[in-house]
Amino acid sequence: MHKESDLDELEKTVEPSWPKLVEPLEKIVDRLYVVWGMVTHLKNVKDTAELRAAIEEVQPEKVKFQLRLGQSKPIYNAFKAIKESPDWQFQSEARKRIVDGQITEAVLSGVSLEDDKREQFNKIEQVQYHEF
């Protein structure tokens, strides 16, 4: 579904540029959502106890990965750097929306929370998404 190592690598090499931030991030996110989309589709088409059990087993890891991705300070800081750069005014409207959306999503995912509040937030998210 995803590779923690891909996210580790992105966090180490991230730069506030389209090819060093948005493109590799898009690959990580696309892979996650394509696979999870297939799982969701299969569950909607043929819901079985075995499938629900399998989903329940991997759901916490999926949510944990999504939270880690959303709370990644290197990625968040790179998006902020793009927005604060002198080149911001020359970006296309589509790129501006992507950058603004990523910044907003990171804030809503708890990127700016202190450690104890982020842990509490993550526990709530795990419980919320426990039901598929």
pLDDT in tens, 47-88: 999 999 999 999 999 999 999 999 999 999 999 999 999 999
Q: For residue 122, what is the enclosing H or E element?
A: helix 115-128
If one counts the domains in the chain, the total is 1
Residue 11 binned pLDDT confidence (cut-offs 50, 70, 90): very high
Query: pLDDT, tens digit, for every residue of 89-114?
Result: 999 999 999 999 999 999 999 999 99
- By the 8 A CB rule, do 75 and 69 touch? yes
Query: Is residue 2's pLDDT more than 80?
Result: no
The C-alpha angle with vertex 102 and arms to 16 and 127, in degrees rounded to 5, equals: 130
- Sign of the Cα pseudo-torsion (3, 8, 11, 17, in order): negative
pLDDT score, position 132:
46
Give Cα separations from 2 to 43, 62, 83, 119, 124 (angstroms): 20, 8, 28, 22, 22
Which domain covers residue 40, as residue numbers?
4-128
In whole angstroms, how large is the CA radius of gyration of the chain?
17
